[in-house]
Amino acid sequence: MKPGVLPRLLYADERGTIFDHPELCMAGMNGTEAVLPEGVELIPLPEGSRIFTIPDTPPLAWDQRRRSFVPVDTIRHGRKRVRVQAVSAFMAPGYVRTLLPACDYSRKKVHLPLWSYTAVGWDPERERFVVAASRVDVNDNWNPCNYDDRKLDPLVRKMLAEFPHNRLLEQLARCAVDYHCFAAKNLFFRRWEAPLPTSPTCNSRCLGCISLQPSECCPSNHERIGFVPTPEELCQLALPHLNEASDPIVSYGQGCEGDPILQAETIAEATRRMKTATSRGTVNFNSNGSFPDRVRLLCDAGMDSFRFSLNSVQEEFYNRYYRPVGYSFAQVLESVKAAKERGKFTMINYLVSPGVTDGPEEVAALLRFIDATGIDMIQLRNLSIDPDFYHTQLRVRGKGIGMYLMMEKVKKSFPRIQYGYFNRTKENFYPEGLETSWPIKL
């Protein structure tokens, strides 16, 4: 877009049909404050993203004539005035949002489901949707166009026939076919990163856990695995993948199970066997990192990389979101250090949200955290949660310095830090050039 030209407001009528407004402009939200998107953070809506409404919630727009943000309840359509609702984008993986959708959240009537919500507008010059976001990973493997279910079904049937008694395979078939989990599909396509869910239980109680929610809250998206697979079951699926897949990674704790750290003994044994049987491929462990001694055990078993999840590097915000049971933030910090000290490629899965992640104190704490732990990579994942609920629970008000500025600051202080969104094969832990650079040119 030309400098100074603002995208138009998008809104939806009661039936969910989306329109752009001829005069009102797109606003975004950083934390609890409406802001105008900066030119640098507006990019075309990435392929594979989705647009949906925020039900019964009026959008906020920038009114150029009044030079202020205004809630938009109704809009004239011909001779009728229609009630309108706000519109949001759900970003394709690999992109981090820099602004939330601007709405009058105080009027929201429903608890929004566990999606990540991104500010979206309409560029009238180029006639396309634009979002407030930044690309942080160049890996295109996770593009939805690579996951054709017509090709998947025969592969699922074939593998189930090959290993009829493997309970883990049965679970992963459900994950691939019913939950449309891309990672699970990779196992059957025998390529890239495949998941190894192991844990029915967890010692955190995250506000936005996608695999377990109290019934009065928002429904969780997936049903957790109900058993702990044996090392045999794990190796039966992991070894052919490690040996034969292209760019193979097998990952524990890939998404919507409990936390695999609670099954550390089983995982250590399985990993030892995998590492004895093949040197090919990468074995990765995603976790809340609640027990440093178990992280050390897994390092010794031959794990290649670790990714620790955190919504915040400030203990109070961490506790309000993770609600840890029987462990403390200090133990998470110790786990991160332990993995890095043992020479493992160490990442954090930073569950980001504008207004929290770019809060001045969070940014300062993140710089200290990187310095103290020596992490290699920050995976910037859009936290999937109702933004209003998140701010209320964390007790956050006001806005941050801007997500873009936050990323710039970290990169300036630690040029070696890699931003990303996906796990890496060990051959690509320390790539030169493009993949470590940021911002990524579109």
Q: What is the CA radius of gyration of the chain?
A: 22
Least spacing, CB of residue 307 vs ligand SF4, in Å: 12
Give the Cα separation of 401 and 356 in Å (integer): 10
Q: In which region does residue 239 sit, left (phi positive, over 0), alpha (psi from -120 to 50) or beta (all else)?
A: alpha
CB closer to ligand SF4 out of 136 and 183? 183
Least spacing, CB of residue 148 vs ligand SF4, in Å: 18
Least spacing, CB of residue 383 vs ligand SF4, in Å: 10
Least spacing, CB of residue 99 vs ligand SF4, in Å: 24
Strand order in the sheet with 418-420: 191-196, 246-252, 282-287, 305-310, 345-352, 377-382, 418-420
Contacts with ligand SF4 by CB under 6 A lie at 172, 175, 179, 181, 183-184, 195, 197, 202, 204-206, 209, 211-212, 222, 254-259, 288
Least spacing, CB of residue 139 vs ligand SF4, in Å: 17
Q: Which residues contact 333 (CB under 8 A, 6 or more apart)?
A: 369, 372, 373
Q: Which residue is nearest to ligand SF4 (CB)?
A: 255
CB closer to ligand SF4 out of 94 and 258? 258
CB closer to ligand SF4 out of 172 and 239? 172
Least spacing, CB of residue 209 vs ligand SF4, in Å: 3
CB closer to ligand SF4 out of 184 and 366? 184
Report which secondary-structure segment, H or E, holds 37.
Answer: none
CB closer to ligand SF4 out of 254 and 284? 254
**Cα 281 to chain center, whole Å?**
24
Report which secondary-structure segment, H or E, holds 158.
Answer: helix 149-162
- Residue 440: CB atoms within 10 A of its CB come to 15
CB closer to ligand SF4 out of 172 and 298? 172
Peptide bond preceding 164: is omega within 30 degrees of 0, i.e. cis?
no
Give the Cα separation of 399 and 102 in Å (integer): 13
Q: DSSP characters for 306-354?
A: EEEEES-SSHHHHHHHH--SS--HHHHHHHHHHHHHTT-EEEEEEEE-T
E strands, 253-310, in order: 282-287, 305-310
CB closer to ligand SF4 out of 200 and 374? 200
Least spacing, CB of residue 77 vs ligand SF4, in Å: 41
Q: What phi and psi, each to the nearest 5 degrees, are found at residue 58? A: -70, 140
E strands, 190-279, in order: 191-196, 246-252
Give the Cα separation of 315 and 319 in Å (integer): 6
3-state secondary structure of 238: helix
CB closer to ligand SF4 out of 35 and 173? 173
Give the Cα separation of 274 and 238 in Å (integer): 8
Least spacing, CB of residue 58 vs ligand SF4, in Å: 31
Least spacing, CB of residue 296 vs ligand SF4, in Å: 20
Least spacing, CB of residue 323 vs ligand SF4, in Å: 8
CB closer to ligand SF4 out of 204 and 418? 204
- The token pair at 231 is 């090392």
CB closer to ligand SF4 out of 134 and 305? 305
